[in-house]
Amino acid sequence: MGAVEALDELIEQLDGTEISAAEGEESKTSPDAIDRVLGSQPRSTNVRSLKDDETIEAFRRELVDGLIRVDTAGRALRLLSQVVGAVLAGRA
């Protein structure tokens, strides 16, 4: 797998996919905290795709051209660090 494909795969993973419940899971008779959250109003967030981010686009262009500048790589790594940090903070 080339570097561009690896970058695209990482961005797809960070953009997220829906996680479905396991098949064959028994339904509970009394609602628990998860059921109450799932039954409540949908939440909204201010989430944007990394695919369209200017930093990622610049990184991708320079990666394809073989001319990655240190400042471009630094900006891309800082952006990815922020995303990973936010994901990990949300799981705590």
The pLDDT of residue 1:
65
The answer to whether 73 and 59 have CB atoms below 8 angstroms apart is yes
The structure's pTM equals 0.41
Has residue 86 got a pLDDT over 60?
A: yes
Residues 30-81: pLDDT tens digits?
778 888 888 888 877 777 777 888 888 888 888 888 888 888 888 888 888 8
Domains in the chain: boundaries: 1-13+49-92
Q: Which pLDDT band holds residue 29 (cuts at 50, 70, 90)?
A: low
- The C-alpha atoms of residue 5 and residue 84 are separated, in whole angstroms, by 19
